[in-house]
Chain A
């Protein structure tokens, strides 16, 4: 069997002395691992760096086999972000969340496209110049990931009154928005809904808003995609939250 696709390197773990088991998020084949012979050799090490976009050729005798990857780099997002700790942590968080949340070998073209767009935005400072801007895009990417996997949040109208305005909370139970008036008596039990998630396009206005967004998506990612499998949320995401909290002067 053989297929060709484009993929983003999510992770690479050593196998033997120089080979690597590389997990790619591909456009048409979803999250798919494969063996790269000599992947950790001096010559090929740079190809399997997380965040790289690569042309992949996968070969295996049967579809369910691990198979062999032949990779050719198309673009190196990681190399551009190495010097910027904040953006690098956002990239690492997105890759770790994608790998932890997505089922293997299930195509999710929209998640691939969104991750690609997010990495592009991280790389081009003119597209997302401030932490609030790319942080907001990151939160929207996680929201899209939840939606793609069947756990989308309903943020169009209030779950209690049906009104479309003044939505400031999300119910952790129903994953639906709740307006200020209906939610006031239960405010301690509701999750704050940052305003930028209700607007089309663009990032957040402040890093504080991003923090609210990270808490919101973090809650549902953990509840639906990590805890049920007995897995903890990725450390890389926790480090991004720490960085954003520091930028927002908030406790984690």
Chain B
């Protein structure tokens, strides 16, 4: 028993968050209780509001307070490109760099024999439908550079074979600021394979 009923439940719930264990959850709970008005209550309100208002976009499977999401409805976005990502976290990563101004499609995972994830568990059908729209010229497959990620990318490329879109994938290689001595063998191997004339 860590504390009185309600606090104990709070600690147990906080401990389920990524990056937090029971000890750090206790610290977080204490921190919240000490700042009840300035932090705990606004946080509770924000959690409630988010839980009530956030929905999944019926077009790209991003999450937003509106459906379709603000990216899908943004008139400044390039509608000729769709970037396919595994998860919403990957979409946020792409948005952080602001290097892509097209639309997105969130798959909801990758094909995985181990976890029993098959094509029917991913949002591939919707992507193929979107790719058939005459405005769409390119689909960028931005799945992770893992065996599962690339297996999924090849599968999607096959499914898109019947459409008129260009299918491209992200390059694999040395990261910006990366020193060869500190890179793993796989990255160096992929970078060597994808070398280009300078």
Residues of A at the B interface (CB closer than 8 Å) are 11, 13, 17, 45-47, 49-52, 73, 75-76, 78-80, 82-83, 85, 88-89, 91-92, 96, 234-236, 239, 243, 246
Task: Give every chain B residue within 8 A of A92 (Cβ-Cβ).
Answer: 113, 147, 151
Which of chain A's residues has its CB closest to B194's CB? A83
A236:B113 contact, CB within 8 angstroms: yes
8 A-B pairs besides A13-B115, A17-B18 with CB distance below 8 A are A45-B146, A49-B186, A73-B184, A75-B185, A79-B193, A80-B193, A82-B145, A82-B150
Q: How far is the CA of A80 from the CA of B151 in the complex (A)?
A: 13
Residue of A nearest to B183 (CB): A46
Where chain A touches its partner, the secondary structure class is: helix
Shortest Cβ distance from A78 into B: residue: B147
Interface centre among A73, A79, A88, A234 (most CB of B within 10 A): A79
A46:B193 contact, CB within 8 angstroms: no
Which chain B positions have C-beta within 8 A of A235?
Answer: 111, 113, 116, 118
Chosen A-B contacts, 19 in total, with CB atoms closer than 8 Å, are A17-B18, A49-B147, A49-B186, A73-B185, A76-B186, A78-B186, A79-B172, A79-B185, A80-B190, A82-B145, A82-B147, A83-B193, A88-B147, A89-B151, A89-B154, A92-B113, A235-B118, A239-B151, A239-B155
With both beta carbons as reference points, the residue of chain B lying nearest to A234 in the complex is identified as B113
Q: Which residues of chain B have C-beta atoms less than 8 A from A243's C-beta?
A: 158
The interface size of chain B toward A, counting residues with CB under 8 Å, comes to: 27
Say which residue of A50, A51, A85, A236 sits within 8 Å of B158 (CB atoms): A85
Report if A88-B151 is in contact (Cβ < 8 Å); known contacts: A73-B185, A76-B185, A82-B145: yes
- Collect the chain A residues with CB atoms within 8 Å of residue B157's CB: 85
Closest 6 CB pairs of A and B: A85-B154, A79-B186, A46-B184, A76-B186, A79-B189, A236-B113
A residues near B154, Cβ cutoff 8 Å: 85, 88-89
CA–CA, A236 and B114, complex, Å? 9
Q: Report chain A residues within 8 Å CB of B65.
A: none
Contact B186 A52 (CB under 8 A): yes
When distances are taken between beta carbons in the complex, the residues of chain B under 8 Å from A73 are 184-186
